[in-house]
């Protein structure tokens, strides 16, 4: 079996995924997790899609 790496930036191009990322980060109550989620979403918005 071959594992395929998960690309969080590619996944975060979907607005529903962005919403879930933020929801999970807020539920954690961890500012580092929230900052990471926001960074992934921002990178997804500026990275050209395939």
Give how far Cα 45 sits from Cα of 12, 15, 35, 38, 50, Å: 8, 10, 15, 11, 13
Q: In this predicted structure, what is the pLDDT of residue 50? A: 58
Single pTM value for the model: 0.83
Q: In this predicted structure, what is the pLDDT of residue 48? A: 82
Q: In this predicted structure, what is the pLDDT of residue 37? A: 96
DSSP letter for 29, please.
Answer: T
Q: In this predicted structure, what is the pLDDT of residue 34? A: 96
Contact 9, 44 (CB under 8 A): yes
Query: Distance (Å, rounded) from C-alpha 11 to C-alpha 8?
Result: 5
Instruction: Going residue by residue through the chain, which has 50 residues, state the pLDDT in tens, using 9 for 90 and above.
Output: 999 999 999 999 999 999 999 999 999 999 999 999 999 999 999 988 75
């Amino acid at each position: 079996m071959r594992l395929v790496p998960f690309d969080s930036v590619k996944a975060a191009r979907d607005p529903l995924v962005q919403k879930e990322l933020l929801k999970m980060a807020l539920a954690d109550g961890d500012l580092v997790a929230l900052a990471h989620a926001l960074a992934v979403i921002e990178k997804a918005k500026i990275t050209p899609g395939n």
